[in-house]
Amino acid sequence: MMDRNEPCLIHGTEIKKTVARTARALDIGCGGNKKKGFLGVDISKGEDVDFVMNVCKLDFEDNSIEEVFSRRCIQHVEDDKKALSEIFRVLKPAGVFRLVVASWYGWLYYRLHLSNSCGNYKTFHLYRDSELRKMLEEVNFTIQSLRHIPSTRGMGYDIEAVCRKEIVQKPVRTARAVSVYE
């Protein structure tokens, strides 16, 4: 993964990549609106962006991040399932992933050119609750809640999923006692 001795750029300052190794919480697709207390990850440079990288190829070690937040990012990633798999990979066991995606109201808002970001994205996945649940479960997330939350756009709602990466314990095989009378 990362070479600890190679520098990376964070807010214009050269630092050691060990910062990435000690990251605890990521805001994936933060754009110009990074969640407080999180490190921002986005595909484009910006004031709130700490790491410029593609969500389908996160440059963090396996099981290294405690919490991931992503608001209206995954819906614009062509291979959304791969992006979710990458988030699962970097999340620590028992780690929390909070995902917010637009509902059809958000898609409509975008298509009617009411959004400031209209035309900026070539991909806009539209999810039903059941489809989002299925995709998260296929990636092995345990869904704690999936609900509709008020949209910041003033119309409709967004879909929020709160998930965990459960600690998977492999079953222990025990030898079965065999009776001489069987």
Q: Concatenated DSSP letters for 65-128?
A: EEEEEEES-GGG-TTHHHHHHHHHHHEEEEEEEEEEEE-HHHHHHHHTT-STTTTS-S------
pLDDT at 20 over 70: no
**pLDDT, mean of residues 138-149:** 96
Count: domains in the chain: 1
**pLDDT tens sequence across 81-95:** 999 999 999 999 999
CATH of the domain at 142: 3.40.50.150
The answer for 31, left when phi > 0, alpha when psi is -120 to 50, beta otherwise, is left
**pLDDT tens sequence across 60-73:** 999 999 999 999 88
**Does the residue 172 lie in any domain?**
no
- State the pLDDT at residue 37: 93
**Does the residue 141 lie in any domain?**
yes
**Does the residue 175 lie in any domain?**
no
**Does the residue 181 lie in any domain?**
no
**Does the residue 127 lie in any domain?**
yes
Q: 2: pLDDT confidence band, cut at 50, 70 and 90?
A: very low
Q: 113: pLDDT confidence band, cut at 50, 70 and 90?
A: low
- State the pLDDT at residue 127: 87
Cβ atoms within 10 Å, residue 47: 9
Full-prediction pTM beyond 0.75? yes
pLDDT at 150 over 80: yes
**Does the residue 180 lie in any domain?**
no
**Does the residue 158 lie in any domain?**
yes
**pLDDT, mean of residues 7-18:** 42
DSSP letter assigned to residue 53 = -
**pLDDT tens sequence across 25-74:** 999 999 888 999 999 999 999 999 999 999 999 999 999 999 999 998 88
| Domain limits for position 156 | 7-164
Q: Which residues make beta-bridge pairs with 158?
A: 102, 149
**Does the residue 65 lie in any domain?**
yes
